[in-house]
Structures are given as C-alpha cells and as structure tokens.
Amino acid sequence: MQLDIDNVSVRYGTETVLDTVSCCVHSGEFIGLIGPNGAGKTTLLRAVLGLLKPTTGTITRHDTILGYVPQRGNLYNGTVPVSVLEVVMLGAEGSKAKATRALTSVHMEAYAHKRFTELSGGQQQRVSIAKALAGSANVLILDEPTAGVDEHSQTEFYNLLRYLHAEGTTIIMVSHEVDTVSKLVTRVICLNRTVLYDGPPEHFEADKYLPGAYAKYHLKLHHQYGDGHA
C-alpha cells in the first residue's frame, strides 16, 4: 500500500468540505478522481500532498514519493525566459543528468533547449510530468492535466500516462473527462464531500452519481476544447 487515507475530514469554519473520506491507494493503481465542482477533489489532493492538515483523520504515506502535476499554466508562468531543461532541473535538485533522463522518458528530449513558454499546452504538461519524475516520484498526482489542451495532444498525453502506468507508476488523476477516464483508469473514485463510488470503471454509472449541472459542465468543456481544435 502506498497511501492510507483514513477518516479524513476537512472543515472551513462551519462548512464541511470533506466528510470522513477513507481509501487506500495501492502500488500500480491508476485512479480517476471524479466529482462535480466544489466536491473537495483539490482539497483531498492538497491534503495528500501535505499542503493542508485535515481537521480530523490521518494520511499515511508508505515508501511514497509524490510528484504533482498541476493544472496547465501553473508550472511556470514567470517572465524570465527559462529553458525546458531548467524547468525539469528544478525537480531534480539541479541534476542535469536526471533532468535529461526524465525528459527522455516523456519523449521531450528534443525540446530541452527550447523556451518553456514556447511549448504547446500538451507539451508543457509532458514537461510537468518530467519534472515530477526527475524527483524520483513513484506516485503521480495530476489535477485536470488536459484542461485547455487540444484533442490530439490530449490523446498523446493519455498515451504517455498509459505507458508510465505500464512501467509501474501509480497515478491519481482528477478529471472532468468521464468517458476518457473510464477507458484509462483501473479504479474510479467519485467524490462529493464523501466518497460516493469507489470501484472499477466498468461499474461506474456517471448518471447515477453526477448531478445534471455537472453533465452540462462536462458537455460545455467538451464543446469548448474538444471540437475544432484538433
């Protein structure tokens, strides 16, 4: 077992954002974390990353090195021009060799000396993964990694995740792309303050657990990013 999330609750004032959430994450799993806006998904990721302390409950990591892949645009948005290699080296304690190896593992070695900000959204997200891998992460935590990435690059990005998973990396990914996620992951966790569903993707009935507003949001996202941008 790599992560033990035991009875975790998070409250802000009188608002309970997470209510007695429990789940174990085992080595080699690929988990899709799904739920409507405001469900507490980011809060749970932040708690797992150690960025916030749960109000009650515990999170235990076993031989786990976490690598965080934030939403697009949050990895580096400074004004100083930095190269792709430099961004990855930040995750590798300055080691050029580790950074180069990590870039190779996401098939981005040819871009090492390009400016990070010149890359497409999909390429930036691959570099974000390289930065996590350069820090020897064995669990990748991704927060809506393909939001705003065109459809072709999304497919390539998901193929990369498939490859990394096959190589043994444990993955936890928040996504709104219910259909795509269901084809990719080994386990779906549907969260809305509490865990509504936790099991194999083939038994997950999205209509049962996700409210209409979510379905509309999903359609809107699909329309916005999925059509005509390939």
195 vs 191: CA distance, rounded Å: 5
Contacts with ligand ADP: how many residues (CB under 6 A)?
A: 10
Rank residues 126 and 187 by Cβ distance to ligand ADP and give the closer one: 187
CA dihedral 118, 222, 161, 22 (to 10 degrees): 120
The nearest distance, CB 39 to ligand ADP, in angstroms, is 4
| C-alpha dist (Å) from residue 81 to 89, 94, 138, 230 | 15, 17, 30, 28
Rank residues 41 and 72 by Cβ distance to ligand ADP and give the closer one: 41
Rank residues 35 and 91 by Cβ distance to ligand ADP and give the closer one: 35
14 vs 34: CA distance, rounded Å: 24
Q: What angle do CA 71, 15, 215 make, to 5 degrees?
A: 50
The nearest distance, CB 93 to ligand ADP, in angstroms, is 30
Rank residues 88 and 190 by Cβ distance to ligand ADP and give the closer one: 190
Check: CB of residue 146 under 8 Å from CB of residue 177: yes
Task: Confirm or reject binding of residue 119 to ligand ADP (CB under 6 A).
Answer: no
Helix, strand, coil shares, percent, the chain, to 5 = 40, 25, 35
The nearest distance, CB 144 to ligand ADP, in angstroms, is 9
The nearest distance, CB 44 to ligand ADP, in angstroms, is 7
Which residues ranging from 4 to 63 are in contact with ligand ADP (CB under 6 A)? 12, 17, 35, 37-43
The nearest distance, CB 12 to ligand ADP, in angstroms, is 4
209 vs 17: CA distance, rounded Å: 18
Q: Where does this chain bind ligand ADP (CB under 6 A)?
A: 12, 17, 35, 37-43
